């Protein structure tokens, strides 16, 4: 089976009736990333963006029966563990997963975004077995404290991704610690939004999906972080409290390794007339920079299109192919004898680009932009 095409991801977690977190967010994440989602529901909650009103725990033997059913027939390429709910279920889940050889991501859900407590002291103590089974445990700041702290966990050789969303500051800093003294750190500007329900569930599930598809751990985390950020930027603004993210609006081209054709720039002589023309076609303008003679538009499937004012329109067309492995891609092409106008360079607009000509003399840009393509800092609010 081609795991990259249809990785089988088993999600062990609680149900969120509001659809923002838990099983519902997990299924959306796996689906948008191209995997096949399977579930073992541990709890049924009555909740919305304002909080959790009621919780009904699924009996432990039913949770285990769900796991056994999918493992015995469909198979599993990766597991994501979320809300467990009680110690008996935590121990039983650990027993049922101990024979699996696939990656396991454990998101130790203890407190919902609303503040509702989802794990008691005995359950937290039972988490030790799940953390020892897991490829990676992904606590936020309060969860890390409840688990005993970073140093204590690393001393027990438990790999951690420490999530910084609950920390203060303008930047979100996430830290991967595979062992004492072995770490990778990511930092990105905080996205100001109240639609943050399910960020932890989504991140852990996206990592599990990447590992199930055969990605290396760091690459899986990087893609998962981008998925979360795009889902936050695409949040529909539902509910009166901490609303759901916009999983359904994250475009596939931002998630694949590449190459993806998702941006074309053409020349124009009359900036205002060209802007009006492409708006009339139904394109949504997201960048307006008449001083630079530059405008960018977006279409509903997430592809972007730009105009750039130039006296010679025929030489202004540039076709853009994006790849997360830009530098390796350029190195491979260079080794085959292709000559670049310039090698990968960081640009002031947030893209990393390399340029070369095709055999007909057309300009081709190979680049990496991530969220900056559709969501530059100067994007027009629409």
Looking at the annotation, which residues are catalytic? 163, 196, 198-201
Rounded Cα distance between 344 and 319, Å, is 16
Number of residues written out for the chain:
382
**For the chain, where are the E strands, in sequence order?**
8-16, 36-48, 51-57, 78-81, 104-106, 136-137, 160-162, 171-179, 182-189, 260-268, 284-289, 294-298, 304-309, 318-322, 340-346, 352-357, 363-368
Residue 9's Cα: distance from chain center in Å?
Answer: 15
Give the N- to C-terminal CA distance of the chain in Å, as an integer: 43
> From the CB of residue 80, how many other CB atoms can be counted at a distance below 10 Å?
30
> From the CB of residue 204, how many other CB atoms can be counted at a distance below 10 Å?
28
Q: What is the DSSP string of 287-322?
A: EEEGGGTEEEEE-TTS-EEEEEE-S-GGGT-EEEEE
Strand partners, 367: 322, 353
Cβ neighbours for 133, distance < 8 A, ≥ 6 positions apart: 94, 97, 98, 104, 106
Helix (H, G, I), strand (E, B) or coil at 80: strand
């Amino acid at each position: 089976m081609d795991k990259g095409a249809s990785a089988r991801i088993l999600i062990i977690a609680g149900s969120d009736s509001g659809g923002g977190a838990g099983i519902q967010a997990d299924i959306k994440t796996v689906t948008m990333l191209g995997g096949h989602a399977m579930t073992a529901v541990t709890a049924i909650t009555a909740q919305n963006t304002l909080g959790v009103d009621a919780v009904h725990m699924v009996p432990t033997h039913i949770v285990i029966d769900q796991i056994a059913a999918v493992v015995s027939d469909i198979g599993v390429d990766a597991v994501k563990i979320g809300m467990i709910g009680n110690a008996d279920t935590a121990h039983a889940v650990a027993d049922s997963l101990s024979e699996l050889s696939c990656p396991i991501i454990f998101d130790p859900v203890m407190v919902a975004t609303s503040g509702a407590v989802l794990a008691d002291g005995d359950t937290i103590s039972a988490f030790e077995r799940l953390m020892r089974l897991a490829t990676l445990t992904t606590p936020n700041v309060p969860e890390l404290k409840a688990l005993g702290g970073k140093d204590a966990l690393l001393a027990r050789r438990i790999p951690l991704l420490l999530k910084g969303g609950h920390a203060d500051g303008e930047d979100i800093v996430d830290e991967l610690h595979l062992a004492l003294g072995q770490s990778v750190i990511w930092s990105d500007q905080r996205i100001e939004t109240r639609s943050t329900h399910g960020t932890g569930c989504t991140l852990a599930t996206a990592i599990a999906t990447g590992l199930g598809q055969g990605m290396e751990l760091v690459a899986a985390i990087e893609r998962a972080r981008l998925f979360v950020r795009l889902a936050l930027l695409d949040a529909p603004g539902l509910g009166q409290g901490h609303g759901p993210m916009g999983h359904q609006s994250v475009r596939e081209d931002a998630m694949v390794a590449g190459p993806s054709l998702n941006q074309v720039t053409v020349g124009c002589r009359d900036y205002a007339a060209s802007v009006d023309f492409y708006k009339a076609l139904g394109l949504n303008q997201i960048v307006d920079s008449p001083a630079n003679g530059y405008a960018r538009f977006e279409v509903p499937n997430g592809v972007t299109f730009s105009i750039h004012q130039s006296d010679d329109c025929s030489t202004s067309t540039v076709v853009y192919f994006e790849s997360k492995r830009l530098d390796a891609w350029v190195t491979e092409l260079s080794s085959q004898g292709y000559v670049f106008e310039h090698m990968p360079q960081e640009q002031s607009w947030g893209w990393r680009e390399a340029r070369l000509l095709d055999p007909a003399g057309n300009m081709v840009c190979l680049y990496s932009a991530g969220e900056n393509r559709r969501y530059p800092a100067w994007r027009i609010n629409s």
